[in-house]
């Protein structure tokens, strides 16, 4: 039986990005995205419902998110669902999360970080910046590629550039 595991989300970050590094110096960050949905109830009232989604970013994508994104930043994330399972105090636990494989910065909402200026996004031209990794890749231990406009890592293997 065929299967397909893709998620595309657009929302706002609920907190500033905190990048950490594994023992092999691979960047990783866990972010939470607030995704709003507006719908009409049976009585005709409009209600807004917010869903909070936990997302993990790896490699250069995590580093760029830490440099350019902050609480309230609007982003598009494409990735895949992953179920984490563990045992705590004899109880089996599980959590569904998204492994982000592509990041696109949107809009001008929220504060910016690093050298992005006060516009809330990379660059002052108001254009979106894309982060993309190989969608066929299932191993998160390799850094993702970045566009020319993003700062490049000075160490590690060369990264492919994707023209946008």
Give the pLDDT confidence of 72-90 residue by residue, as tens digits. Answer: 999 999 999 999 999 999 9
Asked if residues 36 and 74 have their Cβ atoms less than 8 Å apart, the reply is: no
Judge whether 80 lies within some domain: yes
Residue 108 belongs to a domain: yes
143: confidence class by pLDDT, cuts 50, 70, 90: very low
The angle subtended at Cα 14 by Cα 53 and Cα 11, nearest 5°, is 60
The pLDDT, as a whole number, for residue 116 is 39
Give the pTM. 0.65
Domain residue limits at 105? 7-132
* 129 has pLDDT over 90: no
pLDDT in tens, 46-73: 999 999 999 999 999 999 999 999 999 9
Q: What is the average pLDDT score of the chain?
A: 76
Residue range 98-109: average pLDDT?
86
Give how many domains the chain has, as a whole number.
1
Q: Cα 135 to chain center, whole Å?
A: 14
46 belongs to a structural domain: yes
Indicate whether 146 belongs to any domain.
no
CA atoms within 13 A on the CB side of 37: 8
Residue 138 lies in a domain: no
**How much of the chain exceeds pLDDT 90, in percent?**
63
Section 118-147 average pLDDT? 42
> Among residues 99, 52, 109, 58, which one has the least CA distance to residue 79?
99
CATH code assigned at 86: 2.40.50.140
Higher pLDDT, 111 or 68: 68
Reported confidence tier of residue 1, pLDDT bands at 50, 70, 90: confident
CB 114 within 8 A of CB 40: no
pLDDT of residue 108: 62
**What share of residues in the chain are helix, strand, coil (percent, to 5)?**
10, 45, 50
CA nearest to 64, candidates 107, 25, 110, 116: 116
Q: What is the pLDDT of residue 130?
A: 52
Is 13 contained in some domain? yes
The answer to the question of residue 139 being in a domain is no
């Amino acid at each position: 039986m065929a299967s397909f595991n893709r998620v595309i989300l657009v929302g706002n970050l609920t907190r500033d990005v905190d990048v950490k590094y594994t023992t092999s110096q691979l960047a990783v960050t866990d972010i939470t995205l607030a995704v709003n949905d507006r719908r009409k109830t049976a009585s005709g009232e409009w209600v807004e419902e917010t869903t909070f989604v936990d997302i993990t970013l790896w490699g250069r994508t995590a580093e760029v998110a830490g440099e350019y994104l902050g609480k309230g930043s609007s982003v598009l994330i494409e990735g895949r669902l992953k179920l984490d399972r563990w045992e705590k105090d004899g109880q089996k636990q599980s959590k569904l999360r998204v492994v982000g494989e592509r990041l696109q910065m949107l809009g001008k909402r929220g504060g910016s970080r690093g050298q992005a200026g006060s516009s809330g996004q990379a660059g002052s031209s108001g254009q979106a910046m894309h982060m993309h990794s190989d969608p066929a890749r299932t191993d998160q231990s390799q850094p993702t590629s970045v566009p020319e406009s993003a700062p490049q890592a000075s160490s590690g293997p060369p990264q492919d550039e994707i023209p946008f």
